[in-house]
């Protein structure tokens, strides 16, 4: 199916372009932006996404707070790739000690951020075994107390939380939402899967039903939905059928890096052109390669190309033979130089 098939109405997507005011004079420029991806939202990916205007703001992957409170220099180094883009930044923390999380949040508040986010969503088995991330959902009272403790340390900085629709079962949603309400965050990010579902398929009707329940129970708090946002249709459906205030695609940006830009164009009534989308994809991957080590493996570039073209596409197969980032860049430049060769 082409990108232009069955496109949602611009009126459905238009609210995503609206700024979101936050306490203390902070503000998000719109209501759609990349969700954090640990191991991906870094270095060359940040640079290429920013260069092409595919990210209106950055939500960092988590910084794990464990044995001690990071010094300012460590926090500055961690934030640098995001702050250097000159885009608004939401900084995410993860940990198990409420006091240490609060102390780290207090230090982070000295930086020019729009919000500090508590990660109670990461489903990584290693993270969960260590009791952090999504594991915290097994103790809803901890979620409430952690938010309240962090709130006390943040005098003029908004606070948010990212969580999943349960640790083991979506039946946990009511108790989790009660804990979130008790903690009084300024904003909430919710992924429709449970922690134990990892990234396994969930029927979309069930997924959206879960988000609808979260929306109903957290009425009045800005809510961003995430999970399986790969196309314009996916974004439209989540917004229209759940009532979320915004969306945060993550893995979908590895298939369509310009998904948020396409959403913006459509919301503004501009046409979506498949050929333009392919050229933009190749230009993005080319810049991603330029920002990377030319002698490194091209495995990440292949991951993106496989998602866009499919693994049986002749152009994708030609990229496999390139092996290195540098050779892949040369092959992409050849395709861009001869427009009729675009697929």
Confidence of residue 3 (pLDDT cuts 50, 70, 90): very low
pTM for this one?
Answer: 0.95
- 272: confidence class by pLDDT, cuts 50, 70, 90: confident
* Predicted confidence (pLDDT) at residue 341 exceeds the cutoff of 60: no
Tokens of 209: 């039903």
- Cα 335-338-339 angle, rounded to 5 deg: 90
The answer to whether residue 205 scores a pLDDT higher than 60 is: yes
Given a contact cutoff of 8 angstroms between Cβ atoms, the answer to whether 293 and 40 are in contact is: no
Q: Binning pLDDT at 50, 70 and 90, where does residue 271 land?
A: confident
**Residue 139 region, left (φ>0) first, then alpha (ψ -120 to 50), else beta?**
beta
The pLDDT of residue 13? 95
CA–CA separation, 288 and 64 (whole Å): 27
Is the Cα dihedral 257, 263, 268, 271 positive or negative?
Answer: positive
Q: Write the pLDDT tens digit of every residue in 82-102.
A: 999 999 999 999 999 999 999
Query: How far is residue 191's CA from residue 266's CA, in Å, rounded to a whole number?
Result: 24
For the chain, give the mean pLDDT. Answer: 95
Average pLDDT over residues 107-132: 98
User: Residue 2: what pLDDT?
Assistant: 47
For residue 128, the model assigns a pLDDT of 98
Q: Could you tell me the pLDDT band of residue 4, with boundaries at 50, 70 and 90?
A: very low
pLDDT digits (tens, 9 = 90+) for 207-248: 999 999 999 999 999 999 999 999 999 999 999 999 999 999
Name the percent of the chain lying above pLDDT 90: 92
Q: What is the pLDDT of residues 99-110, one digit of tens each?
A: 999 999 999 999
> Which tens digit of pLDDT belongs to each residue from 281-308?
999 999 999 999 999 999 999 999 999 9
- Cβ atoms 77, 121 nearer than 8 A: no
What are the extents of the domains in the chain? 10-267, 274-341
Tokens standing for residue 245: 């205030």
333: CB partners within 8 A, 6+ apart:
286
Highest CATH level, class, for 10-267: alpha beta
- The C-alpha atoms of residue 96 and residue 64 are separated, in whole angstroms, by 9
Give the tens place of pLDDT for each residue, 40-81.
Answer: 999 999 999 999 999 999 999 999 999 899 999 999 999 999
Strand locations in the chain, DSSP E?
20-21, 27-28, 58-65, 89-95, 115-120, 159-164, 187-191, 223-226, 246-247
pLDDT bin (cut points 50, 70, 90) of residue 6 is low
Residues pairing with 90 in the sheet: 59, 115
Q: How far is CA 325 from CA 38, 287, 302, in A?
A: 21, 11, 10
Average pLDDT of the residues in 127-150? 98
Q: Are the C-beta atoms of 287 and 51 separated by less than 8 Å? A: yes
């Amino acid at each position: 199916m082409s990108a232009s098939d069955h496109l949602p109405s611009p009126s459905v997507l238009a609210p995503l372009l609206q700024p979101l005011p936050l306490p203390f004079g902070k503000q998000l420029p719109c209501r759609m932006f990349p969700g954090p991806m640990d191991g991906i939202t870094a270095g060359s990916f940040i640079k290429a996404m920013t260069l092409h205007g595919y990210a209106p703001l950055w939500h960092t992957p988590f910084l794990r707070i464990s044995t001690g409170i990071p010094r300012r220099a460590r926090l500055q180094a961690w934030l640098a790739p995001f702050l250097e883009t000159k885009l608004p930044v939401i900084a995410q923390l993860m940990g198990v000690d409420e006091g240490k999380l609060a102390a780290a949040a207090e230090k982070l508040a000295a930086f020019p951020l729009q919000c500090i986010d508590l990660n109670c969503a990461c489903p990584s088995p290693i993270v969960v075994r260590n009791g952090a991330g999504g594991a915290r959902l097994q103790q809803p009272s901890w979620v409430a107390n952690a938010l309240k403790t962090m709130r006390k340390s943040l005098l003029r900085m908004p606070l948010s939380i990212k969580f999943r629709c349960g640790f083991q079962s979506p039946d946990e949603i009511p108790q989790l939402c009660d804990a979130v309400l008790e903690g009084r965050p300024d904003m909430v990010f919710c992924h429709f899967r449970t922690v134990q579902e990892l990234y396994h398929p969930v029927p979309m009707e069930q997924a959206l039903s879960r988000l609808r329940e979260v929306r109903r129970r957290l009425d009045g708090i800005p809510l961003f939905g995430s999970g399986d946002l790969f196309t314009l249709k996916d974004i439209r459906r989540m917004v229209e059928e759940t009532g979320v205030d915004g969306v945060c695609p993550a893995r979908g940006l590895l298939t369509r890096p310009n998904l948020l830009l396409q959403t913006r164009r459509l919301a503004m009534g501009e046409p979506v052109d498949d050929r333009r989308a392919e050229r933009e994809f190749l230009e993005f991957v080319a810049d991603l390669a330029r920002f990377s080590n030319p002698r490194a493996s091209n495995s990440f570039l292949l991951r993106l190309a496989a998602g866009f073209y499919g693994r049986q596409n002749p152009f994708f197969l030609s990229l496999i033979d390139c092996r290195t980032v540098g050779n892949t860049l040369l092959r992409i430049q050849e395709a861009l130089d001869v427009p009729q060769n675009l697929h």
